[in-house]
Structure 1
Amino acid sequence: MRPTMRILGSAMCAGVTAVGMALAGGAAQADPAAGLTSVASDTSGVGPETSAYLAAFGYGLLHPDAAPPGSDDWNCKPTAAHPHPVVLLHGTWLNAYDSFAYLSPRIARAGMCVFSFNYGREGVLNGGGIGAILPGRYGVGPMEDSARQLAAFVDRVLAVTGAGQVDVVAHSQGGPVTSQYLKFEGGQGKIGKVVTLGATTHGTSLNGIASLGRWITDMGVNILGFYEPLIGQSNTQQAVGSPFYKTLNANGDTVPGVEYTAIGTQHDEVSNPYEWTFLTPGPDAIVNNVTLQQGCDADLSDHLTINYSPRAASIVLRALDPAGKHDLECTFNPWVIGGDGHL
């Protein structure tokens, strides 16, 4: 049996043993007095550098709280060349490791301090949906809660490193969670750059399925509410036209003083139309919207493997470290599997 398949098989067995904990809330028992239904947690241990998404997913099931390599050295001190620590923010039904096992070490090798955590941890009975049954399926709680968890984490990073600001690299749901933090949870002034990959910035139509669900719900039949116990609260919020997005984007996409880079892929099967990941700049904000395939048709990255794309990695590094002379790569990156430009 191939190593990746062995990892996945073992991970699925581990997932079955975790069902009881997930149904009871597992480690995600939030404090109702704090007004949150979900919690965040630190990483524990460091996983291996991985070039293929499927292998990272399997390892993440077996080690759901592992840190991506190169991250979470709390003794790391920013340098004059790289004064901003980088905070990595995973997406829905994902975790820090399986989202950034490829990208994190590249950012660290470029000379930056990198930090990650797992947010939006919530059990099935608390509203996390069936994704919470498998270990490491985080980012399922309400995005407002997750933004407050991001606020607390950023404050810790700033306090420990002595930095004045952080930069954020966010995948999928991590994009709107970052925007919620910047606009409503005290984040303005604490973030210098935001780099997103496949962010659900304006929600998703999910190839028309979410759009249809939103239309039916708006007509008075709450079909999205019916499915929420299955798909979780954050997934319902990310359906296009949700009350969350109406509030989030009411006054524009950006906040002053932040430099944004939004990376989207034409093959995104989750965040689509993929152009919805892009941003319109408001006052005193810089926006660079990048289509991954522009000038590189060979890159077939989808919603998950965009984080394992050499081209996407080079765009991220250029955004974070413009003085670093990072070459813009163009290689084949397979859909669903991922693999640092090869099978």
Structure 2
Amino acid sequence: AALDAGDTHYPPSRGAMPIRQAIADKMRREYGLEMDPATQVLVSPGAKFLLYAALSALLNRGDEVIIFEPYWVSYVPMVIMAGGKPVTVGLNPDDGFRITEAVAEAITPRTKAIMVNSPNNPTGHVISPDEAAIIRDLALKHDLYVISDEIYEKLIYEGEHINLASLPDMVDRTITINGHSKAYAMTGWRLGWAAGPADIISLMAKLQSQTVTSAASFTMAAGAEALNGPQDAVDAMRLAYKARRDFMVPALNAIPGVECHRPAGAFYLMVRFPGLSEDSMEIADILLEKAEIAATPGIAFGRAGEGHVRFSIATAMNELERAVARIEKLLRK
């Protein structure tokens, strides 16, 4: 409809007001937060740029950013590109990749922010109220910002999503990053958004206006409709991913020499192959060459990911069944 109406011209750099209002309405409806769409919301061609823009807005050269391992592969390069120093904190796979109070040991006088991704890529971990409280307490005690990457928020199978900005006293120090790629399967539309303190959003908007300019006008029209319209399709997709997870995890764990972590969200599996190797690069090579299965080496997500490979289950069930059969055949050899 937007294309038919000729909505193909330059939009406001911060985003068209209908989608900014839709985002503000979502934050109020789902998390009880009052966000001014004019000053506290920014729409961009993808959430990825907004993560970088938030880091660029927050960091002075040499400022440190806490990043939990395993982490999405772009976090560390983004911090470095923004002039900061990534400080990674490894999470224990045998403890379900849970955030513990040990993270406090990584904080120094140069720490400026904590990056949180829940549900997590690659682990599928969903932070609990206790973990959220740890992050909140550290942010308040040490005057830190939190960059909360919530792109997988609608893909949760156990537990509840916690928007960190909605915790007491956190709205003025939390930048929520989200988008349409995962919840609405709009990956090619390139549509992300940020909500946070007006002064930080203003700095991010300045960077956006001088670089990527804006999201596409007709994409934003579709994005507003997605947020405002019925959400039945989102839940149907969540249930489809849950069914794939519920098939894959026990099927892989039933194969001798395979250990699969059970994710609470997102659409990835972190899998060990002690029957093959503890070297994730070697495991990925073996799977590709001998079973024709593509996997991402765990070391790509930091040292805490070593020994694992990441599988995506964002594919048809019959393909997943074929993958299990190939892995079983490989391990029998």
TM-score by length of 1: 0.30
Structure ranking higher in strand proportion: 2
Structure ranking higher in helix proportion: 2
